[in-house]
């Protein structure tokens, strides 16, 4: 579950700040700053949407250098579909932070989340950045996690600690996201901080593997955002020997990062807009992992499946239909389906336990397993049910 304690463990050498800029409306802190006291190795992954927000375009260029010191982030405005002015505003936000801190402009990254198509309110943001920088160290990572929320109902923080190479390594991650969630990578921002010393290429590969097995395997509503960003900063403050790809230390660090991002992705799904149930869809024994993933997403994205789960209706025919149109190899007579431990389909035929299955769907955590008996491909995708509240939340998003 989310960590709300003010004592959340953070890696050595990071400072935080959060202020109110009234980006969308007053009454909450909505502008935050993450700062590494040492130059940090950095890696990132970004939305695959062809429509990308100005901050995404800017950061995709900056990340090629593989290093940085600071991330400024706002909620309430996505700075997407804002034309040339939007890019100028993103660049100015970085420059203002850099000027106040006395560091290079290209050491500052910027992220935004919120309403698409609305110009950034720079008249409110510009004068408060000095205050944001001046207050570094006065806020916690919990404050940053709260400041980046949009329709989230709780802040999302996960911490992992592990002794690697004789030194205790800490990895702390935060993210936001509750709707417009569909790989790659969902409408989410995530910032992962570590005091590990690690090579740039190793850091990038570890992040790619972690994201592909976590954030890229969740879906809430099938919509992909313009702003999705995951950034990781590794400042080496733990004093360990530099982690290199292929080493035992790399495997230990990579595994820790994968567990952290998976748990963050679980929090996103549990906070799905209007959701009442957490759903895990597992495809077993598909011909390939790729086919298993396609099948799992077909089920997880099906509005008919999601509404049936909400209505406690074990209508397994909707699962079979979704598999059928997914485009994967499927032999109906070999397919078994289990819902919360109860086998409702064996060899493509009903087992006659639909009434019992309906009762199991009343639970808050739902596990659907489809065994195709065709190969060794296995994938888990996380999703949630679809309710009337999802419609209401998104109908009123801009008001």
Catalytic residues: 187
Would strands 167-176 and 108-115 be described as parallel, antiparallel, or unpaired? unpaired
Would strands 377-384 and 31-46 be described as parallel, antiparallel, or unpaired? unpaired
- Residues 204 and 247: their CA atoms lie apart, in Å, by 15
Beta-bridge partner residues of 345 = 337, 350
- Residues 13 and 58: their CA atoms lie apart, in Å, by 25
- Residues 149 and 178: their CA atoms lie apart, in Å, by 9
How far apart are the two ends of the chain, measured CA to CA in Å? 30
Query: Do 272 and 359 contact (CB within 8 A), yes or no?
Result: no
Give the CA dihedral 312, 295, 267, 388, nearest 10 degrees: -40
Query: Do 51 and 81 contact (CB within 8 A), yes or no?
Result: yes
Question: Per-residue DSSP letters for 127-168?
Answer: GGHHHHHHTTTSB-HHHHHHHT-SS-SS-EEEEEEEEETTEE
Q: Where are the beta strands (DSSP E) in 150-309?
A: 156-164, 167-176, 189-194, 229-234, 278-286
């Amino acid at each position: 579950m989310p960590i709300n304690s003010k004592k959340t463990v953070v890696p050595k050498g990071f400072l935080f700040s959060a202020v109110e800029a009234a980006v969308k409306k007053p009454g909450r802190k909505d502008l935050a700053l993450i700062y590494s006291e040492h130059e940090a190795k950095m890696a990132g992954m970004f939305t695959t949407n062809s429509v990308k927000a100005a901050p995404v375009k800017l950061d995709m260029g900056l990340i090629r250098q593989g290093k940085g010191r600071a991330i400024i982030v706002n909620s309430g405005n996505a700075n997407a579909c804002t034309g040339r002015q939007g890019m100028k505003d993103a660049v100015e936000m970085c420059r203002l932070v850099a000027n106040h801190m006395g560091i290079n402009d290209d050491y500052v990254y910027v992220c935004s989340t919120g309403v698409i198509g609305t110009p950034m309110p720079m008249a409110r943001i510009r004068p408060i950045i000095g205050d944001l920088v001046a207050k570094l160290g006065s806020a916690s990572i919990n404050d940053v996690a709260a400041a980046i929320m949009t329709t989230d109902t709780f802040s999302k923080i996960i911490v992992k600690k592990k002794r690697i190479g004789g030194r205790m390594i800490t990895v702390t991650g935060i993210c936001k996201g509750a709707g417009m969630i569909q790989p790659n990578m969902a409408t989410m921002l995530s910032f992962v901080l570590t005091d590990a010393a690690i090579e740039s290429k190793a850091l990038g590969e570890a992040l790619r593997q972690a994201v592909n097995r976590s954030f890229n395997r969740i879906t809430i509503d099938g919509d992909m955002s313009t702003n999705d960003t995951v950034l990781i900063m590794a400042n080496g403050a733990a004093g360990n020997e530099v982690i290199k790809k292929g080493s035992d230390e790399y495997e230990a660090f990579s595994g820790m990062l994968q567990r952290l991002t998976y748990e963050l992705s679980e929090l996103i799904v549990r906070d799905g807009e209007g959701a009442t149930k957490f759903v895990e869809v597992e495809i077993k024994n598909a011909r390939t992992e790729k086919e298993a993933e396609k099948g799992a997403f077909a089920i997880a994205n099906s509005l008919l499946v999601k509404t049936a789960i909400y209505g406690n209706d074990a209508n397994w025919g909707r699962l079979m239909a979704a598999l059928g149109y997914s485009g994967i190899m499927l032999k109906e007579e070999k397919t078994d389906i289990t819902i919360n431990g109860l086998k409702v389909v064996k060899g493509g035929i009903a087992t006659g336990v639909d009434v019992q299955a309906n009762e199991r769907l009343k639970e808050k955590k739902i596990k659907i397993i489809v065994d195709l008996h065709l190969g060794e491909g296995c994938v888990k995708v996380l999703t949630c049910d679809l309710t009337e509240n999802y419609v209401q939340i998104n109908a009123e998003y801009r008001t």
